[in-house]
Structure 1
Amino acid sequence: MPSFGIVTAPQQVSYDDVLRVWREADTVPEIEHAWLFDHLLPIGGSIDGPILEGWTLLSALAAQTSRLAVGLLVTSNRIRPPALLAKIATVVDHVSRGRLVLGLGAGSRPSIPWARREYEAHGLPYHDFGDSVAALDEACTVIERLWTSDAPFDFHGEHVQVTGAFGNPKPVQRPRPPILIGGRASATLRVVARHADLWNIPGGDLADCVERSALLDRYCAEIGRDPTEITRSIHLPVSYEHPEDTRKAVGEAVAAGFGHVTLGLPAPWPEGVARWVADEIIR
């Protein structure tokens, strides 16, 4: 059976707005997971509008829900050093009592007009995409080792270096929380094949999504991994005005093998939006 979740981008909204939707979704069994995104300046609406930092908000929402799997779709690996991210994620796994899914991505491409702006505004480096994908691969290795290693370790990669790294406490989920990696680039898919439990791709061009999924199968075969170990996830926007269009897109994606669906809810969010999603889209 397919699994459905909601995505609430925390921009141009307040904390109370997000909390209302997540609390409601937590009571709707048809919605199994809920997601934020990881941006530091708005990527839609007023450039000067409010935006809430993803991991801080995720921890607060994890503390006020009890059932939903929770995560960021997806964390930009450009923003936080991986050892720090592993510690942050471990705390959220404890706060949620073991409901975290670690969503990871290489970070926005330089070709996206708004992408560089948010990094420069926060004094963060912004390397080219090839470097960021290689850094993501190393970050996954370090995070996994921090979550599972019973002794301190060193890691000296090209992009990530740690000495005497050790994670304590370990996450609630054993051996570790699931890792979701988002993206469609070929280089990213190789990282997915090596590290991910779930792979998410933006919808819109289903033929391309299916082609990318087949490529992921080939990359798994190259390293001797069973491709069925990686759940295929797709992100689809919700239309409040034309739910039939969303239902059609969902049905086609599920039929094409995407068993994990993240539904993007445009703000402002109507009252009762989580129940509406269950009634009008999922059922």
Structure 2
Amino acid sequence: MPVEFLGIATTSDASETTAPTTKPFDTDYLLRIVRAHEDNGWTRVLFAYGPSGPEPSVLASYVASKLDTVELLLAHRPNVSYPTFAAKSFATLDQLSQGRLSVHFITGGNDHEQQREGDTLTKDERYARTQEYIQIVKKAWTSAEPFDHEGEHYQFRDFVSTIKPYDGRVPTISFGGSSDAAFKVGAAEADIYAVWGEPLASTAEQIARVHDAAALAGRVTPPRIHAAFRPIIAPTEELAWAKAEQVLGRIEARKAAQGGVLSARHPITNPENAGSQRLLAIAAQGDRHDTALWTATAKATGGAGNSNALVGTPEQVAQALLAYYDLGVRIISARGYDLLDDAIDFGRYVIPLVKEGVAARDAEAARTAQLVTQGAVA
């Protein structure tokens, strides 16, 4: 089965380790980093959402007009627009990009951050709203006839969208979360379920929960699994771990320079969202897990988003990723700390090895299936 790779699209080079050296809004840098992904084997790039940042759908539209093949994953929060409007916006962008759009729905795990844009619902209420929102968007994409909706969060009459996604397709819907409410909603509605990189055993548990929740929702085929990591690679294992320690030192230095915080979006201590709580609990058990997973970066950032690292040579990191593939992970998110250089290096040195390993597994599975068929015929 194919494996896909997700990178990041951004308008500056700032990261947890790096103060921006670009302009705060630099379209030249945006095109450079997206082109680096397009030219080095990545499948798609994420246009992230933040209450104070640029509007990601506009950035995605700009990139779609400039680059021809890279796919676009648009992060979207249901509290910022009405679902009928969003469905038309997504369909328009999908037309402009000729079918390269996917949408990642973010429910929001931090009450304070949600309140910055007027969202005062509780966490469980937000998840219920997200499910209703996704269902409306799907129907707007596919319905040729006007329809009414009378739901808990949205009510409207006689709506039909004349702008549909490109060439009769339905854009892929991505979703993430580690709470009970997240599994219930995402497993029922999403094509892709995103988890943050955890040790293999706990990742297997997360995947099982997605599959169980999908079965309870009546789905025959569960969502594909997306796992997110921070790669730290070097030519030798010794150099990779030295680089990892340098990354950690840079995180701590940047945090100290900013008064003990890294982002207004995420606290260093006591995060509200279940995913970050899981990352910190795993980090408390030790810095190293399995063959290459390193949790010190998650601990230093308060479990902020995608923050567990994979450390090693390209071969070691590729083998670690193939272990996740063997669990059922089919989309790999890999964002480095030096965004542009790491995107190029990961694309050049790790992606081909992972694809080679997946191709070998596919060939072996085909041989096994052929032998089984021959045995049954005999």
Q: 2:232 aligns with which of 221, 239, 242?
A: 239
Amino acid at match of 2:225: R
Determine which structure has more spread, i.e. the larger CA radius of gyration: 2
What is aligned with 1:7?
8
Counterpart Cα distance in 2 of 1:173 and 1:188:
31
Counterpart Cα distance in 2 of 1:88 and 1:237:
31
- Contact kept? 2:140, 2:160, Cα under 8 Å: yes
- Contact kept? 1:106, 1:136, Cα under 8 Å: yes
What is aligned with 2:213?
219
Runs (5+) with no aligned partner, structure 2: 15-23, 234-242, 245-310, 354-378
What is aligned with 1:269?
340
Counterpart Cα distance in 2 of 1:249 and 1:163:
51
**RMSD over equivalenced CA pairs, Å:** 2.2
Counterpart Cα distance in 2 of 1:222 and 1:82:
26
- Contact kept? 2:131, 2:185, Cα under 8 Å: yes
Structure with the higher fraction of residues in helix conformation: 2
Counterpart Cα distance in 1 of 2:175 and 2:4:
17
Deviations 1:213-232 (A, max 9, x none): 1112112222331234x211
What is aligned with 1:91?
92
Report whether the alignment pairs 1:171 with 2:165.
Answer: yes
In structure 2, relative to structure 1, the CA distance for the partners of 1:191 and 1:141 (3 Å cut) is: same
Counterpart Cα distance in 2 of 1:127 and 1:267:
36
Counterpart Cα distance in 2 of 1:55 and 1:108:
21
In structure 2, relative to structure 1, the CA distance for the partners of 1:275 and 1:159 (3 Å cut) is: same
What is aligned with 1:48?
none
Cα offset, 1:173, TM superposition: 4.6
Cα offset, 1:246, TM superposition: 4.7
Counterpart Cα distance in 1 of 2:145 and 2:188:
23
- Contact kept? 2:4, 2:331, Cα under 8 Å: yes
Aligned positions of 1:185-204 closer than 5 A: 185-204=179-198
Cα offset, 1:248, TM superposition: 5.4
Q: 1:63 aligns with which of 44, 62, 65?
A: 65
The TM-score, its normalising length taken from structure 2, stands at 0.64
SS in 1 for 2:328: coil
- Contact kept? 2:175, 2:190, Cα under 8 Å: yes
Cα offset, 1:162, TM superposition: 2.2
Counterpart Cα distance in 2 of 1:189 and 1:139:
16
Counterpart Cα distance in 2 of 1:98 and 1:20:
22
Counterpart Cα distance in 2 of 1:154 and 1:147:
14
- Contact kept? 1:133, 1:187, Cα under 8 Å: yes
In structure 2, relative to structure 1, the CA distance for the partners of 1:10 and 1:208 (3 Å cut) is: farther
Counterpart Cα distance in 1 of 2:98 and 2:65:
9
Amino acid at match of 2:123: F
Q: 2:201 aligns with which of 207, 229, 235?
A: 207
Deviations 1:155-180 (A, max 9, x none): 11101222222111111053411111
Deviations 1:44-71 (A, max 9, x none): xxxxxxx322111111112222112211
Calculate percent identity across the aligned residue pairs: 21
Counterpart Cα distance in 1 of 2:80 and 2:131:
15
Cα offset, 1:37, TM superposition: 0.9
What is aligned with 1:280?
349
Counterpart Cα distance in 2 of 1:268 and 1:103:
21
Report whether the alignment pairs 1:19 with 2:31.
Answer: yes
Counterpart Cα distance in 2 of 1:173 and 1:276:
35
Counterpart Cα distance in 2 of 1:133 and 1:10:
30
Amino acid at match of 1:53: E
Aligned positions of 1:250-265 closer than 5 A: 250-265=321-336
Counterpart Cα distance in 2 of 1:206 and 1:18:
33
SS in 1 for 2:33: helix
Counterpart Cα distance in 2 of 1:26 and 1:154:
41
In structure 2, relative to structure 1, the CA distance for the partners of 1:239 and 1:15 (3 Å cut) is: farther
Runs (5+) with no aligned partner, structure 1: 42-50, 111-115
Amino acid at match of 1:236: F
Cα offset, 1:79, TM superposition: 2.0
What is aligned with 2:374?
none
- Contact kept? 1:236, 1:249, Cα under 8 Å: no
The number of residue pairs the alignment matches comes to: 262
Amino acid at match of 2:94: D
Deviations 1:187-231 (A, max 9, x none): 122222222111111113443332121112112222331234x21
